[in-house]
Amino acid sequence: MVDTNSVSGKKKPIQVEIFPQRVLMPDTAEQLLNVIDKVPGVIRMVIQGPSLPNRVSCGPGAGIPVNHPDRRVINVSGHAFELNIRLGRVQVEIEDRSVKEKLRQVVEEVLPFPFEYREGFFIRRKATLTDYAKYGFKSKTDESINLDDERLLGLIDPKANAKDRICMLEPTEER
pLDDT value for 92: 94
Say whether both 159 and 98 belong to one domain: no
Distance in angstroms (rounded) separating the CA atoms of residues 76 and 78: 5
11 with 94, same domain?
A: yes
Answer yes or no: is 144 within a domain.
yes
Confidence of residue 1 (pLDDT cuts 50, 70, 90): very low
Task: Write down the pLDDT at residue 163.
Answer: 55
Between CA 34 and CA 147 the distance in angstroms is 27
Q: Which residues pair with residue 115 across a beta bridge?
A: 20
Are 100 and 143 in the same domain?
no
- The answer on pLDDT for 34 being more than 80 is yes
Is residue 61 domain-shared with residue 79, that is, in the same domain?
yes
Q: Do 115 and 129 fall into the same domain?
A: no
pLDDT of res. 124: 76
Task: Assess if residue 134 is contained within a domain.
Answer: yes
Domain that holds residue 159: 124-163
Chain centre to alpha carbon of residue 29: 12
* pTM for the model: 0.74
**Residue 169 resides in a domain:** no
Check whether residue 14 and residue 64 sit in a common domain: yes
What is the identity of the amino acid at 145? I
pLDDT exceeds cutoff 80 at 161: no
* pLDDT over 60 (residue 25): yes
For the stretch 71-124, pLDDT in tens is: 999 999 888 988 888 999 999 999 989 899 999 999 999 999 999 999 998 887
Question: To the nearest whole number, what is the mean pLDDT of the chain?
Answer: 79
Shared domain for 108 and 132, answered yes or no, is no
Enter the DSSP assignment of 79.
Answer: E
Q: Say yes or no: 102 and 141 in one domain.
A: no
Is residue 92 assigned to a domain? Answer: yes
